[in-house]
């Protein structure tokens, strides 16, 4: 059965979405295509206004034309002229410098006029799709112009893109700033991995099926691997990436989020806070990695020259904008311990890498081996059962098992039970930003990171970054197109396992 968004949720109330950084990449590649696809599904609130706020001079028409071209390119569904034209009517452009308070005061007037014209409410959603150093200025001016303070009965919310700080101190400072302008319940920190359909399914898999939960603990699980591999390199983002590296870019947010969903206790309810309370508990139970422990449990590496699909690729240090002696990691692998009742003794191996041979994000849960009697004998070691949650691509879940091959002799081979979203539901998965935008309009913060969650994740990551700052000779290198350094293999082999093949 196909379930459309309308069947499972009511359309959000009408509102105005103001996008700061409206001429940037994120708006063109993700936000507008996501809104367009919601328009196709009939899932947008009636009377929605979208206002692009940016510095360049542009008319509404020019802005819409540019967005149409990029939506044609990046939208998951083909552009339908009629739907686009209707949707585009709701888009307007507002030129202003971010630091110019007058621009915000003019925005107040423009929004008031739009509200009257489209019989819309005074609900406001501010999307900060800007570089982190602009966030403070924008928040300040939203407050000064009173845009953060809606008329009674209306709401004002803010969506903030990653990176949310660069360490615990900066994240804490940013949280304080935000809270001076918007209450926590109106603050939506984006982690687009949480909007991925497969990430949302982790809780359903665990808590809507009775067979997994009783096995979901240290008695039955040998180890867990969480991988995010991508063939892409730094892709013109060196200015940001060379300061961040894989640990801050992928692990602090996306992969620790996946880990919390995989490891958390059942929440008391499906409310945003009940779920986030449980996720925070996991983050706070991570055994801190500091000093010498970092070098035993974390491997960092950088890509060298190599080839992917026959294409010769340059080394990270030769990428434009990267410092020639940069020690920034484009790959990181960690062994993480969760010191709580459920997970004591189960190693969680987490790795993220760029310039890997293939793209693949997954959580793989390896169960304990069967006892060494009957079939699992010295001469014939059986594969352990592995439950794989494929976040992307080929979204789905598989369970590896042992089965007897047909015939009169007893031969046992590994086989797979496989669920694929594509074949089971015959429906394209929505893009993460579709779900997240709709949730923010509806006031549902479940799939957004709360302030304490972000800070707990930084507290864990900071210990590693600090150790790396003291010592840099642990950095290793791997050829582009290979699946990381040998040292990462040693890390996982210490628990008698090996990385899953990319």
Which sequence positions are flagged as catalytic?
A: 254
Residue 339, Cβ neighbours under 10 Å: how many?
A: 12
Q: Least distance to ligand BG6 from the beta carbon of 361, Å?
A: 6
What is the per-residue binding string for ligand BG6 in 160-179, x denoting contact by CB under 6 A?
Answer: --x-----------------
- Taking the least distance from each CB to ligand BG6, the nearer of 242 and 249 is 249
Q: Least distance to ligand BG6 from the beta carbon of 244, Å?
A: 8
In DSSP terms, 361 is beta-bridged to 228, 392
Contact 303, 316 (CB under 8 A): yes
Going along 66-111, which residue ranges are E strands? Answer: 91-95
Q: Report the distance separating Cα 27 and Cα 48, nearest Å.
A: 17
Binding-residue total with ligand BG6 (CB under 6 A): 6
- Taking the least distance from each CB to ligand BG6, the nearer of 112 and 236 is 236
Question: CB-based contacts of 5: which residues, under 8 Å, 6+ apart?
Answer: 38, 41, 43, 438
Q: Report the distance separating Cα 129 and Cα 30, nearest Å.
A: 11
Q: Least distance to ligand BG6 from the beta carbon of 346, Å?
A: 25
- Residues 379-438 within binding reach of ligand BG6 (CB under 6 A): none
- Which of the 8 DSSP states describes residue 407? S
What is the per-residue binding string for ligand BG6 in 179-208, x denoting contact by CB under 6 A?
Answer: -------------x----------------
Q: Least distance to ligand BG6 from the beta carbon of 194, Å?
A: 11
Helices 451-470 + 272-285 axis angle, to 10: 20
Binding of residue 230 to ligand BG6 (CB under 6 A): yes
- Taking the least distance from each CB to ligand BG6, the nearer of 191 and 444 is 191
Q: Least distance to ligand BG6 from the beta carbon of 359, Å?
A: 8
- Residues 307-366 within binding reach of ligand BG6 (CB under 6 A): 361
What is the per-residue binding string for ligand BG6 in 249-288, x denoting contact by CB under 6 A?
Answer: x---------------------------------------
Helices 432-442 + 32-40 axis angle, to 10: 80
- Taking the least distance from each CB to ligand BG6, the nearer of 29 and 500 is 29
Mind giving me the DSSP string for 427-483?
Answer: SPPPPHHHHHHHHHHHT--TTSB-HHHHHHHHHHHHHHHHHHHH--TT-EEEEETS-
Residue nearest ligand BG6, Cβ-based? 249
Binding site for ligand BG6 (CB under 6 A): 162, 192, 230, 232, 249, 361
């Amino acid at each position: 059965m196909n379930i459309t968004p309308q069947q499972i949720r009511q359309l959000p109330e009408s509102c105005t979405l103001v996008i700061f950084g409206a001429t940037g990449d994120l708006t063109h590649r993700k936000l507008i295509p996501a809104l367009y696809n919601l328009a196709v599904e009939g899932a947008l609130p009636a009377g929605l206004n979208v206002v692009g706020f940016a510095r360049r001079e542009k008319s509404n028409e020019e802005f819409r034309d540019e967005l149409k071209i990029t939506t044609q390119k990046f939208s998951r569904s083909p552009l339908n002229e009629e739907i686009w034209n209707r949707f585009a009517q709701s888009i307007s452009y507002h030129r202003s410098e971010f630091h110019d308070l007058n621009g915000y005061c003019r925005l107040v007037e423009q929004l008031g006029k739009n509200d009257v014209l489209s019989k819309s409410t005074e609900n406001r959603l501010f999307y900060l799709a800007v570089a982190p150093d602009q966030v403070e200025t924008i928040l300040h001016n939203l407050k000064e112009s009173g845009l953060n303070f809606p008329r009674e009965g209306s709401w004002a919310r803010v969506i903030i893109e990653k990176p949310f700080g660069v360490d615990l101190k900066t994240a804490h400072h940013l949280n304080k700033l935000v809270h001076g302008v918007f209450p926590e319940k109106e603050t939506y920190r984006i982690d687009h991995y949480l909007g991925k359909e497969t990430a949302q399914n982790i809780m359903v898999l665990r808590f809507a099926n009775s067979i997994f939960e009783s096995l979901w603990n240290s008695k039955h699980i040998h180890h867990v691997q969480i991988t995010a591999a991508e063939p892409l390199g730094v892709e013109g983002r060196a200015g940001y990436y060379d300061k961040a590296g894989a640990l801050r870019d992928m692990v602090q947010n996306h992969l620790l989020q996946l880990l919390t969903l995989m490891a958390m206790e059942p929440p008391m309810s499906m409310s945003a806070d009940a779920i986030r309370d449980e996720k925070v508990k996991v983050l706070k139970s991570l055994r801190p990695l500091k000093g010498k422990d970092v070098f035993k449990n974390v491997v960092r590496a950088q890509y060298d020259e190599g080839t992917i699909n026959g294409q010769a690729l340059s080394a990270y240090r030769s990428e434009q904008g990267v410092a020639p002696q940069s020690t920034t990691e484009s790959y990181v692998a960690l062994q993480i311990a969760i010191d709580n009742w459920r997970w004591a003794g189960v190693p969680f191996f987490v790795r993220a890498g760029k310039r890997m041979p293939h793209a693949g994000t997954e959580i793989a849960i390896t169960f304990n081996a069967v006892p060494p009697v009957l079939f699992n004998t010295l001469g014939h070691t059986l594969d352990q059962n592995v439950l794989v949650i494929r976040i992307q691509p080929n979204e789905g879940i598989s369970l590896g098992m042992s089965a007897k091959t047909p015939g009169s002799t007893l031969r046992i081979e590994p086989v797979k039970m496989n669920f694929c979203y594509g074949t089971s539901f015959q429906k394209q998965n929505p893009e993460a930003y579709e779900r997240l935008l709709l949730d923010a309009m509806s006031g549902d913060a479940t799939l957004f990171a709360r302030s304490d969650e972000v800070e707990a994740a930084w507290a864990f990551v900071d210990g590693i970054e600090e150790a790396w700052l003291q010592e840099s000779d642990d950095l290793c290198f791997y050829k582009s197109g290979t699946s990381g350094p040998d040292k990462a293999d040693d890390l996982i082999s210490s628990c008698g396992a090996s990385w899953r093949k990319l």
